[in-house]
Amino acid sequence: MEIPTIASLERSYTEIVDAARSRVIGDLSQHARLELARIYVRELDAVYLRLAAQEITEETARGIIKSLERALARYMAQAEPEIKRQVFRALKHMQEAHAQATAAVPALDVGFAGVPTEAFEEMYKRRALGVVKSFKTLRKWNATRAAVQIEKTLEATLLQGLGPQEAVERIAYALASPNEFTRKAVERYATGGGVQKFMRAGARYANITDEAFIAAKRISYDAWRIVRTEMASAAIEGDRVASIRSPVIEGMKWNLSPRHPKPDICDLYAKLDLHGMGPGVFPAELYPPLAHPHDLCYSTHTFRDPSEWGLPNRAPAPARTPKASEVRRILPTVTPRASLRAWQQVRRDTRRASKAWASLRPLL
C-alpha cells in the first residue's frame, strides 16, 4: 500500500471524521431528543387518560396535579440515563471514524479499541474536575420547580373563578403543547392517546401565557439544549481521546461554526496560539471543552511529519496565558466586561485542562 502524503491524509481524515461528527450532531441528536419525547409522552399519558375519563372536582383536581408532578419526576429520572446511552453511541461513532481514517496508513499498529469507554469515563471525570461543562441537567430539582409553577397555576386559575375542570385542562394542555418531537413520538410509537387529545386543543388554549405554560416550554427547551450540547461534547471528547491514540495526529484545531452568531470566547480559541502549534491548535490532551451551550464549533486535525508516524506522543506543554492586547485585537467589538470574562474563561479552562490531564493520565 502506498504511503499517503500529509495533504491526502488530511483530506481523507477530515472527510471521514467530519461525516461522523455530522451524524452525531444531526441524526443521533434527533434520535436522542425523540427518545426523551417518547419517555415524556409515556409518563404523562396515563394521567391524561384518567383526566379524560372523569369529571374533575376541586378535590380530584389536586390529586391529578400531584400525579402530573410525579410523572414529570419520573421523566426527569429517566432522561439523564437515556442521554448517557446516546452519548456512548456518539463516542462509538467517533472511534469508528478514526479507525477508518487511519486504515489508509500502512504498517502502523493502531489500537482504537476501548475508545468509547475511555472517552465516556474521561468525559465525566473531566466534568467533575471542572473541564467539560456540566450545564443544567435534567434532575429532580428541575421537575420540582416545574411542579411549583403548576400548583401556583392551579390556585391562580381557581381564584379567577374558572372551574377545576377548566383549570386542570389548561395545565394539561400546557404540558402537552405540541412540538416536533412530541408529535413524532405520538405518531411513531402509537402511544399517547391521552396526550394527543390535549395536543389537539390548540385552538381553545392557544393564548395561554401562564406560569404552567412557561414551565412546560422550559422543560422542552431544556431537553433539547441538553441533548444538543451533550452530543456535541461527546463528539469533541470522542475525537479528543481517539486523537491521543492516533499515531499520525499532532494536534486538534478549533474551528468556528459557520453559524457562529457573534464574537465571543470561541474566537479566542480559534485564533490564539496558546501552545506554539499555530492559531487555534491544541495538543489533543489539552483541547478545551465546548465554551457555551449550543456551541457547534468543531475540531479538525494537524498531522505529524511522516517520519514521526507511530512514535510515542510528546508530553503536552501547558497553555500560555494570553495577553489582554491579544484579546482586544480578536474581540474589538465586545464590551470590556465581556472581553475580560472571555479572557478569564480561557485562562481558567486551559489551566483546568492541564490539571485534569495530569490527574487522569495515570488512570488511562
Dihedral over Cα of 73, 74, 77, 81: its sign: negative
Judgement on whether residues 29 and 84 belong to the same structural domain of the protein: yes
Judgement on whether residues 148 and 90 belong to the same structural domain of the protein: yes
Low-confidence ranges of the chain (pLDDT < 50): 135-136, 363-364
Last residue of a domain, one of 247, 282, 316: 247
What single string gives the DSSP state of each residue in 275-289? SSSSTTEE-GGGPPP
Judgement on whether residues 154 and 13 belong to the same structural domain of the protein: yes
pLDDT of residue 303: 92
pLDDT of residue 105: 74
Judgement on whether residues 104 and 67 belong to the same structural domain of the protein: yes
pLDDT of residue 168: 80
pLDDT of residue 363: 47
Last residue of a domain, one of 222, 247, 272: 247
What single string gives the DSSP state of each residue in 58-106? HHHHHHHHHHHHHHHHHHHHHHHHHHHHHHHHHHHHHHHHHHHHHTTST
CB count within 10 Å of CB 78 equals 17
Judgement on whether residues 275 and 239 belong to the same structural domain of the protein: no
Angle (CA) 142-170-191 rounded to 5° is 75
Into how many domains does the chain fold? 2
Question: What domain range includes position 153?
Answer: 1-247
pLDDT of residue 131: 66
Judgement on whether residues 208 and 287 belong to the same structural domain of the protein: no
pLDDT of residue 79: 84
Are 186 and 192 in contact by the 8 Å Cβ rule? The answer is yes
Last residue of a domain, one of 193, 217, 247: 247
